[in-house]
Amino acid sequence: MDLEEIREKVGGTIEVNVPEASAACAYASDLLSDVMGHAGEESVLITIQNHLNTIAVCTLVGIEVIVICHARPVPDDMREAAAREGVAIVVTPLSQYAASIALASLPPCTR
């Protein structure tokens, strides 16, 4: 699923645009150690974590797209790191549950 399709499905805005970013599966979690242990490469991460460490974890795991829920603002340092590392960020007003349902056509990620 490409970035624009993800944005459309969650009714969000693209805060960091990485046009080639895409997702082959989806993973929802707010615990970054859980994401490191279980999220798959090429996944979209559905979370409320809007800080710099989220980008570091995504880079480590190979996550190309983050969906930040509840319209949480993206801090400048997170935005800069995401752009530098090639991680797209979409912000949605939806809850994690609703965003997960909106992206249900993606299979769950497994390692």
Given pLDDT bands bounded at 50, 70 and 90, which one contains residue 108?
Answer: confident
For range 82-108, the mean pLDDT: 96
**Comparing C-alpha atoms, which of 16, 12, 33, 3 is closest to residue 82?**
16
Which of 4-13, 48-57, 102-111 has the lowest average pLDDT? 102-111
- Closest alpha carbon to 5 in 26, 36, 29, 30: 26
Domains of the chain, with CATH numbers?
3-102 (3.40.1390.20)
Q: State which H helix or E strand residue 45 sits in.
A: strand 43-47
Burial of 27 (0-12, 13-18, 19+ CB in 10 A): buried
The pLDDT, as a whole number, for residue 73 is 98
DSSP calls for 8-30: HHHT-EEEE--TT-B-SEEEE-S
Per-residue model confidence (pLDDT) at position 1? 96
